Amino acid sequence: MTRVVAQGTFDLVHPGHVHYLTEAAAMGDELHVILARRENVTHKEKPILSNRQRRDVVAALDPVDHARIGHETDIFAPIEDIDPDIIALGYDQHHDADAIVDELSRRGVDCRVERAGPRERQYEGELLSTGTIIDRICEERC
């Protein structure tokens, strides 16, 4: 059985997220998703939704077999627990694949890192970014 790990914030799940998780699931037999803890998100705005709510929404998606909230201090701890064959990165995630492989190798986890492809817009005006969705909500409702 090939275990795949995908990870992210997944605030306000949108078609880009579904595309990423569908591609990640297609890389193996079992998809585990690790959601970044709100308090650990530093590379962008903190999620609007709670850790648990985001996890519950992601767990309900068809491609996902298991969803969990990330570790409080060590982002690699859940990956060590899962012991995946593949880590699937989103096409635009900021992570350095080589640095991930090096750290996991140092910890005795042998897996490869693959990057999902982008999802092309299906129609004019389709929103594929949580930030863009929030901006549109503010423009139209605030």
Residue numbers in the known binding site for ATP are: 9-10, 14-17, 92
How many residues are recorded in the chain?
142
Cite the annotated binding site by residue number. Answer: 9-10, 14-17, 92
Per DSSP, which regions of the chain are E strands? 3-8, 30-35, 66-69, 86-89, 112-115
Closest CA to 51 of 63, 71, 66, 36: 36
CA distance 67 to 7: 9
8 A C-beta contact, residue 23 and residue 86: no
130 closest CA partner among 60, 5, 66, 46: 46
Tokens of residue 121, six digits: 């817009």
